[in-house]
Amino acid sequence: MENTSYDIRQLNEKIHQASSFVDLLQMELGKAIVGQKYMVERLLIGLLAQGHVLLEGVPGLAKTLSIKSLSQAINAKFSRIQFTPDLLPADVVGTMIYNQQKNEFVVRRGPIFANFILADEINRAPAKVQSALLEAMQERQITIGDTTFKLEEPFLVLATQNPIEQEGTYTLPEAQVDRFMLKVVIGYPTKEEERMIIRQNLNPEGMTRISPIIDPADIMNARKLVREVYMDEKIERYIPDVVFATRNPEEYKLQKLKPLIAYGGSPRASINLALASKAYAFMKRRGYVIPEDVRSVCFDVMRHRVGLTYEAEAENVTSENILSEILNAVEVP
Amino acid sequence: MMGVLASPLTLSAQDYMSIKAVPDTMAIRIGEQFKVMLDARVQTYAIPGVHFKIVFPSLPDSFNHFELIGQSEIDTTGSNNVEKVFRQTVTLTSFDSGRWEVPPMKFEVFSATDGSYDSVFTKPFAIDVNTVAVDTSKAFKPIKPLRTVKWLWTDYILYFAAGLTLLAVIIILIWFARQKKVPKYVAPPPAETPYDAAMRQLRQLQNEKAWNNGDIKTYYTQLTDILRVYIEKQFRIPALEQTTAELLQNIKPITILNQQRDKLSGILTLADLAKFAKLQPAPQEHEQCLQTAIEIVEWSKPRAVAEEAKQEGTENPKA
């Protein structure tokens, strides 16, 4: 059914009211996390668009603190899994344990049974463990023995990768990386932000306590509203244009990019770009998507979905460079 | 001279014909050529009214250690009313050392009048063919190197002439080919300036009252496209590839456009709402937006030109 102007105005007002918690949430998180607004914003996009986030950054950039604070602010369960080479799938999803008193096997749930999971240094665990986690991410359910358990919603995985130590790691294959809605690259805080971090950490009263702002149920309602955000057909055409430009750059007068791209974004990239744009529009308290929303999330949605050739790597061309070229060439509606 | 009488002629051949074979030398070095002049004279007064032919000896290529190199044409110069003279020079050589005899050579005289013939033989003579004296007490000398022949421009004049002719032909052919291909010059239509194009399109929208067609989204799309194309061409900002926020940010360094920032922002924001949020602006807003767009283009055009001229240094500060 086509939306009328009246429907969209109503939707806009509805979303304007419903999204008010986003500002409150960001303010609350800001009490504990200094700087890193970009990362927090992307976490919320993942949360609202029902996608998972892959975070790349050096240690000590408040990744754990961010997701822990987010879970506290939403009053949700949080667990952290440190991925190591000797980790087993059972250590993540859980296993069956024999109970001698009752003379039966009982299920012992793994740390994945939480709302927010921090999969720290995901590339340090072998493929079997990565696969177990990524399957849970995709299916949102776990099977232990004969029993299948639905994972509690909201379910958000924040996986981290350390870009500097690559020895003894198991790089995530392209097909697995594609399951993350966003890949966020975070950098160091500014000097002023770092000064505030020192002050906050040396506070004799300890770290600021995060108060719950909303419930997981509110997040579920917000997710429904995110999907209702109006996306005009002009935007619907703009999104495939951007994704297709990564596959066939020559059709967008970008012949020079052809030898640099090994493979472009999949249809999952288009779906996630649309969903993330809607979530971004929701966070900006709008009931409709504008091209700015698409461009704002484009790098995070697309950077891990554009494969580079050896030629590109030899020339130090990054996927961000390629995406910049594409966004500067594709006409905005 | 020997002759065989077998002719109905009343006289024998040696009575009216004398022949001789005279070598130019009696001794040659091995391989050296020498000439033998064959001479036959016929006293015509002795055989009045007789038509005759002299047949010179036919020599094989090789005979008696001699090799035939060549024979000249028969020369009859020196003939007169009383005597006919026939001469031929034969060039011979020999590659065998020793004394070799050139055998008698047969001349035949043939009467065309009655078909009779007679023959006369030359005297044989010997030629000494000597080897080259080699002093074997001395060492062998190497083969002489190649001798460079002096360059003479006359040797190559034909090649130069042929080359120049070929070049001239090619040039003429190219010239003809180009003459045919060069299209007639058609004066291009005068290029429309970004200002003219934008104003023409905006006036067209105004005259058509495009907002009355019911498709508000298309109207605002056209309106913003005209403005974006104008900004792209006039100020070289890639406006078509930028979002509203990016465009408003990027016009900041261009003062004349930045002065119209609020107006531009108003149009683009309203257009975004119409395009992406199905907003139906009030009817008076449609015309107002168009009027504002015309104002922006009018405002930025003359100043843009003046500023460009100033940047290029063509403006006269005293004027």
DSSP per-residue codes, B112-136 = TTT--EEEEEPPPEEEEEEPPP--T
Cβ-based contacts of A288 with chain B (< 8 Å):
276-278
pLDDT at B104: 93
pLDDT at B60: 92
B305: Cβ–Cβ under 8 A, 6 or more apart, which residues?
none
SS3 call for A109? strand
* Percent of chain A surpassing pLDDT 90: 10
Radius of gyration of chain B (CA): 56
Q: How far is B217 from chain A (nearest CA, A)?
A: 10
Name the residue among B221, B243, B280 with its Cβ closest to that of A295: B243
Q: How far is B275 from chain A (nearest CA, A)?
A: 8
Per-residue pLDDT tens digits of chain B, which is 319 residues long: 333 334 445 567 777 888 999 999 999 999 999 999 999 998 888 877 778 888 999 999 999 999 999 999 999 998 888 889 999 999 999 999 999 999 999 998 888 777 788 889 999 999 999 988 888 888 888 898 898 888 888 888 999 999 999 999 999 999 998 887 767 777 777 778 888 888 888 888 888 877 777 778 888 888 888 989 898 888 888 888 888 888 888 888 888 888 888 888 888 888 888 888 888 888 888 888 888 998 888 888 765 556 656 665 554 444 3
Contact B276 A232 (CB under 8 A): yes
Q: How far apart are CA B287 and CA B290, in angstroms?
A: 5
Q: State whether residue A289 sits within 8 Å of chain B by CB.
A: yes
pLDDT at B86: 93
Question: Is the model's pLDDT at A165 over the cut of 50?
Answer: yes
For chain B, domain boundaries:
2-130, 194-306
> How many CB atoms are located within 10 Å of the residue A139 CB?
12
Cβ-based contacts of B245 with chain A (< 8 Å):
292
Q: Considering the domain B2-130, what is its CATH architecture? A: Sandwich (2.60)
What are the start-end ranges of the E strands in chain B? 2-4, 17-23, 27-29, 33-43, 52-55, 62-63, 66-71, 83-93, 98-102, 106-111, 117-121, 125-130
Nearest residue in B to A327, CA atom = B241
Cβ-based contacts of A286 with chain B (< 8 Å):
277
pTM value is 0.64
Helix (H) / strand (E) containing A180: none
* Percent of chain A surpassing pLDDT 70: 96
Cβ-based contacts of A4 with chain B (< 8 Å):
278
Q: State whether residue A235 sits within 8 Å of chain B by CB.
A: yes
User: To the nearest whole number, what is the mean pLDDT of chain A?
Assistant: 84
Could you give all domains of chain A from N- to C-terminal order, each with its CATH number?
22-218 (3.40.50.300), 230-329 (1.10.8.80)
Helix (H) / strand (E) containing A99: strand A94-99
Helix (H) / strand (E) containing B300: helix B283-312
Nearest residue in B to A2, CA atom = B278
Name the residue among B221, B238, B277 with its Cβ closest to that of A8: B277
Q: Which amino acid is at B207?
A: N
Tokens 């003479």, located at residue: B152
> What is the distance of C-alpha A309 from the center of its chain?
25
pLDDT at B303: 58
Contact A332 B242 (CB under 8 A): yes
B183 forms beta bridges with none
Q: Which amino acid is at B210?
A: A
Q: How far apart are CA B107 and CA B4, in angstroms?
A: 11
DSSP B201-270: HHHHHHHHTGGGGS-HHHHHHHHHHHHHHHHHHHH---GGGS-HHHHHHHTTTSHHHHTTHHHHHHHHHH
Cis peptide, bond prior to residue B188, ω within 30 of zero: no
Model confidence over A74-119: pLDDT tens digits?
888 888 888 888 888 888 888 888 888 888 888 888 888 888 888 8
Q: Quick one: average pLDDT of A303-328?
A: 88
On whether ipTM exceeds 0.85, the answer is no
Helices then strands, counting H and E runs in chain A, come out as 14, 11
pLDDT at A272: 92
